[in-house]
Amino acid sequence: MESSTVVFASAVAAFILIRFFQGVRMKKAVPQWLSRGAVIIDVRTPAEFATAANPKSVNIPLDQLDGKITSLPKDKPIIVCCASGMRSAAARAILNAKGCKEVLNAGTWTRTLVLILLVLSFTPQSSAGEWIKTGEVAGVTLYKRDLPGSDVVAIRGEAVIEGSMPRIVGVLENVERGKEWMADIAESYNIEKNTETDRWEYNRTKTPWPLQDRDFVIHTQTRFTKDPEPRLTIEMTSGENRKKPALSGVVRGQLIDSRFILKYIDAKKTHLTCEIQADPKGVIPKWVVNLFQSHWPVDTIQGLKKQLQKPDIVENQNLARLLDKS
């Protein structure tokens, strides 16, 4: 009897130690994987997911996972979770068997949520107006900035792009094709053009059910300077335009402050900075907004790079002439 008690106690102690070290490992691993743009897949049933879930996760029930593997991003690591960790372990095995190499079983979905909150809590806080470097993902250097009176953090990304300034501007100013390369854009077009450097744009972003889509009416102004080096800045802020009133069933968001800054390196390379501070309004908690927005520069720059590879991109000829004269 005594020996069986010892065995039982040892087994319990071993179980507790295993769970403890699993928790320590996840506390380190999940934030690292999230910083690399990992996708979180919750493999619980739709009913369980609808009751409560990590808002950053995607619901693919375990019994549907095998048939949806082809729809998963090929260039991002995957974090799987469920209610207890058992189904997510099975999901990891399925994904590994299908060739997905970077798959992390985070266990419970609540663990992924808590660790995301920890990432946000321990991210260095910036003084008002000061950009603080937060990391580097896929060749994009990331920064954040806290602004007085706003719960929404400003985000910046910087990278060197293989592409000329006129070609990049050709992509950026072709608003109608924005949904080809910008994440979650469902609709995008010019409302009106005042001048070549002053226009109004509209875009609508897809939002997961049960939330409503968001749309933005954006006043865009462009300026070019030569000194100390050729630079083009595209400023974007929300505004009111009588040609595009608010729509029923769509929440009108606010682009507080956003811009693209292109600096000339040579005829084939450009230094690109993109900044955003946007409030989607509505009932979405601001910490969720900041979490989703934190990866916007990476998604935007990666999408822009892919768009630049298309053969039908038309360069901005006005900018090309200005650069020739510089």
**What are the catalytic residues?**
82
Phi/psi of residue 169, nearest 5 degrees: -65, -35
What are the C-alpha distances in Å from 21 to residues 14, 15, 102? 11, 10, 20
d(CA 115, CA 34): 10
Q: Residue 54, class by beta-carbon neighbours within 10 Å (0-12 exposed, 13-18 middle, 19+ buried)?
A: buried
Exposure b/e, 202-213, CB count within 10 A at least 16 = b: bbbbebeeeeeb
How far CA 7 is from CA of 10, 21, 171, in Å, comes to 5, 21, 67
**Residue from 214, 256, 263, 262 nearest 236 by CA:** 256
